[in-house]
Amino acid sequence: MEKRVTGIGGIFFKVKDPNQTKDWYQKHLGLNTDQYGTAFEWRGSDNPHQKGFTQWSPMKEDTQYFKPSEKDFMINYRVENLVELVQKLKAEGVTILDEIEDTEYGKFVHILDPDGHSLELWEPIDEVYDELVKGRTKS
């Protein structure tokens, strides 16, 4: 089977007070948080010298970032070849919510699953993300 999703890129969830939530997780569970949450740093099994990241981010409960989903969370999946994958997903009838956004640390697009969850697909550029991320929680 061809590779599509290669891992979890992030978990985003709605809370009343993101700063209070980040502070609680920092105090009680030891997460090193910044304005966005924390990035869990890990190494890939195919290339242990290559860093990868999984972002953990509490977001305001009125965030519009998950729209059109009304769910309280969104999962970001790491993928390879996002442009090609989006073409395949369109052909398979998957709802694509926006155009691919190309940023300095990777490409992003949002899709809907059959249960109405907004999912974010990310083709990361880990070397650039490594330079940008400040809040890190390492093993």
d(Cα 90, Cα 128) in Å, to the nearest integer? Answer: 29
DSSP state of 28: H
Question: The domain containing residue 60 runs over which residues?
Answer: 5-137
81-91 per-residue burial string, b: 16 or more CB within 10 A, e: under 16: ebeebbeebee
pLDDT given for residue 1 in this prediction:
59
Question: Total domain count for the chain?
Answer: 1
Name which of 72, 87, 83 is nearest 117 in CA terms: 72
The first and second tokens of residue 37, run together, are: 């949450």
pLDDT given for residue 2 in this prediction:
75
CATH number assigned to the domain comprising residue 79? 3.10.180.10
pLDDT given for residue 9 in this prediction:
96
Residues of the chain with pLDDT under 50: none
